[in-house]
């Protein structure tokens, strides 16, 4: 069984400040981990994914995430927030064997203050 | 490259009425997914198809929900009859086998 917990349903940061969105996972098998972004009235877009290669994963729009097995975490960061980063962010986990379904967290709404 | 297409984008119906959603995946993608996204929640898988075969429908409420992908391309998800609690966004996604999932914009259903 797999699950994801996103700490904080709402995060607010100032423009130019560090963005940190927290994700902890539970998985009985080696996981693949994902971060998706969802803008209003749009589908989910993949930001980045961890598939057991490098533990520090770089994605689009300046985001990156680090897989920490000892902490069962996959937190998303961006050094400097931009107004266009305001959106809903979802962490997801799947197994690493064949076609495995994604299990999503409940999401974190990121607000950027000018 | 065209993305995943869903229609309608919005649907308002009264409870006990039937409703259907349509999804056209990215060309060549053999795997198709239907997800349910409640307000303020992450998506939850309803059903996954490999070509025309439903390989995971364990989360599909089969008393009122049905889905089909007859030719292994586009797909339809139906609810009959709809209940108030079915108000949500229904997302379709597609992928190549074991590949990245690409999501459509979703259909927002409101049941009155």
**Average pLDDT over chain A, rounded to whole?**
92
User: Under a CB-based contact definition with an 8 Å cutoff, are residues B77 and B46 in contact?
Assistant: yes
CA distance B27 to chain A (A): 18
What's the pLDDT score for residue A28?
82
What's the pLDDT score for residue B14?
97
Q: Average pLDDT for residues B8-34, to the nearest whole number? A: 95
What are the beta bridge partners of residue A48?
Answer: A35
B103 and A106: CB-CB below 8 Å?
Answer: no
Dihedral (CA of B111, A107, B34, A101) sign: negative
What's the pLDDT score for residue B98?
66
State the CB neighbour count (10 A cutoff) for residue A112. 19
Neighboring chain A residues of B97 at a CB cutoff of 8 Å: 99
What's the pLDDT score for residue B97?
67
**Average pLDDT over chain B, rounded to whole?**
93
- Given a cut of 80, is residue A106 above it in pLDDT? yes
* Residue B51 CB partners (closer than 8 Å, separation 6+): B30, B69, B72
A44 and B56: CB-CB below 8 Å?
Answer: no
Closest CA to B34 of B55, B48, B22: B48
Distance CA B24, CA B42 (A): 22
Two tokens, residue B101: 């999932």
What's the pLDDT score for residue B66?
96
What's the pLDDT score for residue B109?
97
Look at A67-71, A90-94, B68-72, B95-99 and tell me which has the smallest mean pLDDT: B95-99
Residue from A44, A48, A92, A95 to probe the interface with B (highest B Cβ count within 10 Å): A44
What's the pLDDT score for residue A99?
61
Confidence of residue B82 (pLDDT cuts 50, 70, 90): very high
Helix, strand, or coil here: B93?
A: strand
What's the pLDDT score for residue B100?
82
Q: What are the pLDDT digits (tens) for A67-105? A: 999 999 999 999 999 999 999 999 999 877 666 778 999
Among candidates A4, A43, A105 on the partner chain, residue whose Cβ is nearest the Cβ of B103: A43
């Amino acid at each position: 069984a797999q699950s994801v917990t996103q700490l904080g349903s709402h995060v607010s940061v100032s423009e130019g400040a560090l963005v940190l969105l927290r994700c902890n996972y539970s998985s009985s098998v080696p996981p693949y981990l994902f971060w998706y972004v969802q803008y209003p009235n749009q589908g989910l877009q993949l930001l980045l994914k961890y598939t057991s290669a490098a533990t520090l994963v770089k994605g689009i729009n300046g985001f990156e995430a680090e897989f920490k097995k000892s902490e069962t975490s996959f937190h998303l960061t961006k050094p400097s927030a931009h107004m266009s980063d305001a959106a809903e962010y979802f962490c997801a986990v799947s197994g690493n064997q064949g076609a495995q379904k994604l299990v999503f967290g409940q999401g974190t709404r990121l607000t950027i203050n000018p | 490259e065209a993305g995943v297409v869903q229609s309608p984008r919005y649907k308002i119906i009264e409870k006990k009425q039937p409703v259907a959603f349509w999804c056209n995946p990215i060309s060549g993608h053999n795997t198709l997914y239907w997800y349910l996204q409640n307000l303020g929640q992450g998506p939850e898988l309803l059903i996954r198809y490999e070509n025309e075969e439903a390989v995971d429908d364990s989360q599909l409420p089969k008393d009122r929900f049905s889905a089909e992908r007859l030719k292994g391309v586009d797909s339809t998800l139906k609810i009959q009859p709809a209940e108030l609690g079915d108000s949500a966004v229904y997302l379709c996604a597609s992928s190549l086998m074991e590949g990245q999932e690409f999501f459509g914009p979703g259909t927002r259903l409101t049941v009155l």
